[in-house]
A and B are shown apart, each in its own frame.
Chain A
Amino acid sequence: MEANMHNMEERLWSYIDGAVDAAERTVIEKLLQENAEWKAKYHELLEVNSLLQSSELEEPSMRFTKNVMEEIAKTHIAPATRTYINKNIIRGIFIFFITLLVAFLAYGFGQIDWTAKGDTNIPVDLSKVDYSKFFNNTYLNVFMMINVVLGLFLLDRYLANKRKEFQKEA
C-alpha cells in the first residue's frame, strides 16, 4: 500500500517536472481523469510545487560583495592546471613503457623455435626461454623494480590529475 503510494508520488512528481515520455504522460493523464485518489494527490503535489517555486532566496549582509573584493585584492588567480602539467613528460613515460614491453616481447618471440614440432600445438617451450641474460644481475633487478614502481606512481599521478581536471570541469 505504502509502496503504491510512493510509486504514485514519484510518477506524479516526474509528470509535474515534465520529465515523462509521451506514453507515460498519456497514462498519467488518464489516471488523473478516472482515479480520484490520483487526482487528489496530484493537486496536493502541485500545491507543494507552487509553494516551492514561491520560496525566496536569502540575502547576505550589505557589505558582502565589498568583503569578498577586499579579500580578493590580496590574492591572485592560480594558473590553469593544464599549463603546469607537461604533456611531453606523460608522453615520454608512455613511450618508455611501450618500448620496454615491445623489447620483452621481441626477445620472447626471438626464443621461439618456430620449426620445432612437439606434442602440443604451442610452439613455445617456456622452460627453455633464457631470462638469465637479462635478470642475472641484482642491480638490474633493483633498477627494473624501481622503474616499475616509478611508472605506476606516475601513472597514478596522471590519472589523479585527469580526474581532478574532470571534476573541476564539471
Chain B
Amino acid sequence: MSTGQNDNEIISLVLRGDQQAYATLVSRYQNYVFTLSLRFTKNREDAEEVAQDIFIKAYKALADFKGNSKFSTWLYTIVNNTCITFLRKKRLETHSLDKEGVFEVADSQDSGLRANMVEQKSKVAMVNNAINMLNPDDAEIITLFYKSEQSLEEIAQILGLETNTAKVRLHRARTRLKEKMEKHFSEEVRDIYN
C-alpha cells in the first residue's frame, strides 16, 4: 500500500501505470480540495462535483507536474482555475467577486448556516460559518493560509499574484472576516474577546 509514501513517490507510481495509487492522493487531499471548492460554490453538491472534476483534471495533467513545487501547490492552482471557471459558468463575472454585492448575496444565502450555528454553538462552527459568509476570494485565501499548509509565496503562486499582493489580500480578508463575526455572531465574539 502506498499510504506512507510521499506525494512524489505516489505520482511516479501513477505515471508508471499504477492507476490505483492515485486513490491515495485523492484521499489525502479530498478534504482540502472539497473545502476550497465549497468556499466558491457555497453548496455541497456543486462542491463535490467541482472537486471530482479537479481530481480528474489533475490526473489527466499529471505528466506535466515536474516536481518543482509541492504537489499540493500545483493541485490548488487547478482548484483555483476550475472554481473560477465554475463561477463564470454560473454567470458570476470574476470582476464582481471583489464587490460588496457578492458578500451580501452570501449573507442572504446564509440563514441555513446561522441555524446550523445555533445548533452547534461552538467556536469552530462560528468560524466556519463566518468564512462561508465571505466572498469566494477571501474565503479561499484564508483557507489556503490556515488550513492548506501553504506559505504566502505558494499562495501567491496559486493565485497568480505577487507575494506582497497576496499578503495584503490576506490581511483584508481577515479584517472582513472579523467584521462578519462581529456583525453576525456578536454574542459569541464578545464571549471570546472577554
**Least Cβ distance of B42 to chain A in Å?**
12
**Least Cβ distance of A44 to chain B in Å?**
6
CA distance A73 to B32 in the complex (A): 23
Is B167's CB under 8 angstroms from A170's CB?
A: no
A80 contact from B63, B158, B177, Cβ within 8 A: B63
Given contact pairs A19-B152, A170-B77, A52 touches B146 in the complex (Cβ within 8 A): yes
Q: Is B184 engaged at the interface, CB distance under 8 Å to the other chain?
A: no
Chain B residues lying within 8 Å of A9, measured Cβ to Cβ, are 171, 175
**Least Cβ distance of B123 to chain A in Å?**
6
A16-47 CB contacts (< 8 Å) to partner B: 17, 19, 44-45, 47
Is A64's CB under 8 angstroms from B52's CB?
A: yes
Closest to B142 in A: A52
Q: Is B124 engaged at the interface, CB distance under 8 Å to the other chain?
A: yes
**Least Cβ distance of A31 to chain B in Å?**
18
A58 contact from B35, B62, B152, B178, Cβ within 8 A: B35
**Least Cβ distance of A16 to chain B in Å?**
10
**Least Cβ distance of B32 to chain A in Å?**
6
Closest to B62 in A: A77
Q: Is A59 engaged at the interface, CB distance under 8 Å to the other chain?
A: yes
Q: Mark B93-136, 1 if CB is under 8 A from A, else 0.
A: 00000000000000000000000000000011011100100000
Q: Is A130 engaged at the interface, CB distance under 8 Å to the other chain?
A: no
Binds A, one of B2-10, B17-25, B82-90: B17-25
Q: Is B71 engaged at the interface, CB distance under 8 Å to the other chain?
A: no
CA distance A70 to B182 in the complex (A): 44
Among A10, A47, A51, find the residue whose CB has the most chain B CB atoms closer than 10 A: A51
Is A78's CB under 8 angstroms from B60's CB?
A: yes
B contact residues, range: 35 or more
Closest to B158 in A: A170
**Least Cβ distance of B28 to chain A in Å?**
10
Main secondary structure of the interface of B (DSSP, over half): helix
Given contact pairs A60-B48, A72-B22, A77-B63, A54 touches B127 in the complex (Cβ within 8 A): yes
CA distance A139 to B8 in the complex (A): 56
Q: Is A67 engaged at the interface, CB distance under 8 Å to the other chain?
A: yes
Chain A residues lying within 8 Å of B147, measured Cβ to Cβ, are 55, 57
Chain B residues lying within 8 Å of A61, measured Cβ to Cβ, are 48
Q: Is B1 engaged at the interface, CB distance under 8 Å to the other chain?
A: no
Given contact pairs A51-B127, A75-B59, A170-B157, A13 touches B48 in the complex (Cβ within 8 A): no
Is B34's CB under 8 angstroms from A79's CB?
A: no
CA distance A57 to B19 in the complex (A): 27
Chain A residues lying within 8 Å of B72, measured Cβ to Cβ, are none
B131 contact from A55, A72, A75, Cβ within 8 A: A55
18 more A-B residue pairs beyond the given contacts A52-B127, A76-B60, with a C-beta to C-beta distance below 8 A: A45-B178, A54-B127, A55-B127, A55-B146, A56-B124, A56-B128, A58-B34, A58-B38, A60-B30, A60-B31, A60-B47, A64-B34, A68-B56, A69-B20, A69-B23, A71-B52, A75-B60, A169-B64
Among all A-B residue pairs, the 7 with the closest Cβ atoms: A80-B63, A57-B31, A60-B34, A55-B127, A58-B35, A57-B35, A68-B55
Pick 24 A–B contacts, CB within 8 A, sort by A: A10-B171, A19-B167, A44-B178, A48-B174, A48-B177, A52-B142, A52-B177, A54-B127, A55-B127, A55-B128, A57-B147, A59-B34, A64-B52, A65-B30, A68-B52, A69-B26, A71-B56, A72-B22, A77-B62, A78-B63, A80-B63, A168-B65, A169-B69, A170-B157
